[in-house]
Structure 1
Amino acid sequence: MTLAFSIFFLVFVAELIQWIGQSVLLELAYAVYLRLFYSSKITQQRNLKNEILTAKAELLLTSSQDQFAKWAKLRRRVDKGLAELEKLNGELGSARSGFSLKFNSMIWILTNGTQFVVGWWYRKSAVFYLPPGWFGPVTWFLSFPFAPAGSVSCGAWQIACRRVIKVGERVVKNLTSPSLVEKDAAVKAKEQ
């Protein structure tokens, strides 16, 4: 039965990642990655933005005709800061794209890749055997493609687990979200 639970766990993790959203997980993991490996760059970026904003505010208060030397100096400082910020943003952007590629590859390997490998490795193994005569001719389909007759194959078990998890997800969503009748009643109560 450990094979059945292992396959169920793999399918559950894949569906959980899909339910949460890969982009949400990417954003969370990237935030942690930045704090661990690029904290100095992030601090430098934040300080540079603050310097640029204060210089721009000072530039707006300075008259370009009356105080040209001061205005030109502030303008050069703002331009230099924007160039440095653009360079820093480029470095962080390339770090993000590299991290995104690695993270998405890791997620694919952990979900779809492991399911494929487990299905291929145990392709001739039975996850469990069915009692004789319970499902009639459907038992051939459940053992498809290589599992022994009268058993459930890894592929069929993965499909069944995925379907049960999807139904469970739908039930939980329906139980946790307010029904349309409750929403209509709330809207009418607000209108009165």
Structure 2
Amino acid sequence: MPSLLLVVFILQFLLHIINTVGATTVDELLWILYNKFPTPTSSSARKAQSLKKEVVRLKRELGAVSAQDDFARWAKLQRQHDKAMADFQKSDNSIRTHRQTFTSAVSTLRWLGTQGLRFVLQFWFSKSPMFWIPQDWVPYYVEWLLSFPRAPLGSVSINIWGIACASMIALVGEALTATYVLATRKPLPVGEKAGQPMAFEAKPQQAQEPKKEL
């Protein structure tokens, strides 16, 4: 059985990913992955995707043909485009209901597996110490805060451990993002950034007047 410390850390990591990427993006990726397997909607989804590509292709060809110079070809492409669009809308409408059901089920399972599981763990293990801190290592009020709300005094509660994990994951994520930005973008010299004036204007050096000899 995995350690409760590790379970809470993984749970906070998953919550951070979902909050960073977005629930809608996660649902979209899961829907695409779901249709990669032999599911009831996989064939319909592949057909709708193929029809969508066909509609886009015909739309481009239609835009490249002049209705005045080559009306026969333009009319043929228009009929093909209208037929492909009608087939795509029919196929897309047939799987729209299945997708709404899938998204609703995924959203429920995602909440139960993350937020719901976190609430259950915090309630069930509210009196259990995650780990103990050395005696007289921190003041009394710090011990009380670390054991909040119902863990034994001198220990770290599951609530505080979850907050610590979430904070550390957020800090590491921001550090990695900043490192990536600094590594992939070439910094501009000071004063050459677009739209930003220099800190001060250089004044021409005044010519020194020759000293008059008495």
TM-score interval for Structure 1 and Structure 2 normalised by the shorter chain: 0.7 to 0.9
What secondary structure sits across from 1:177 in the alignment? helix
Equivalent in the alignment of 1:123? 126
Equivalent in the alignment of 2:171? 167
**Is 1:128–1:151's contact at 8 Å kept on the other side of the alignment?**
yes
Q: Equivalent pairs: percent with the same residue?
A: 28
What secondary structure sits across from 2:187 in the alignment? helix
Aligned 1:34-73 pairs, distance under 5 A: 34-36=35-37, 37=39, 38-45=41-48, 46-47=50-51, 50=54, 53=58, 61-62=71-72
Q: Report the aligned-residue RMSD.
A: 3.6
**Is 1:126–1:153's contact at 8 Å kept on the other side of the alignment?**
yes
Structure 1, 36-45 or 93-102: larger mean CA deviation: 36-45
How many residue pairs end up in the alignment? 178
Alpha-carbon offset, residue 126 of structure 1: 0.7
So what's the TM-score if we normalise by structure 2?
Answer: 0.66
Alpha-carbon offset, residue 4 of structure 1: 1.8
Equivalent in the alignment of 1:26? 27
Q: For residues 148 and 93 of structure 1, do their structure 2 counterparts lie closer, same or farther at Cα, with a shift above 3 Å needed?
A: same
Equivalent in the alignment of 1:66? none
Question: Structure 2 residue aligned with 1:176, among 158, 180, 185?
Answer: 180
Equivalent in the alignment of 1:13? 14
Distance in 2 (CA, whole Å) between partners of 1:183 and 1:148 is 51
Distance in 2 (CA, whole Å) between partners of 1:135 and 1:88 is 65
Structure ranking higher in helix proportion: 1
Equivalent in the alignment of 2:196? none
So what's the TM-score if we normalise by structure 1?
Answer: 0.73
Structure 1 stretches of 5 or more lacking a match? 64-70
Structure 2 residue 96 is the aligned partner of structure 1 residue 93 = yes
Distance in 1 (CA, whole Å) between partners of 2:53 and 2:16 is 40
Structure 2 stretches of 5 or more lacking a match? 194-214
Distance in 1 (CA, whole Å) between partners of 2:99 and 2:82 is 25
Distance in 2 (CA, whole Å) between partners of 1:79 and 1:48 is 12
Distance in 1 (CA, whole Å) between partners of 2:46 and 2:177 is 40
Question: Structure 2 residue aligned with 1:155, among 156, 159, 162?
Answer: 159
Flag the structure with larger Rg: 2
Deviations 1:19-66 (A, max 9, x none): 333333222211122233223213443358748x59x96xx7449xxx
**Is 2:12–2:165's contact at 8 Å kept on the other side of the alignment?**
yes
Alpha-carbon offset, residue 159 of structure 1: 0.7
Structure 1, 124-133 or 173-182: larger mean CA deviation: 173-182
Alpha-carbon offset, residue 84 of structure 1: 4.4
What secondary structure sits across from 1:183 in the alignment? coil
Equivalent in the alignment of 2:202? none
Structure 1, 98-107 or 154-163: larger mean CA deviation: 98-107
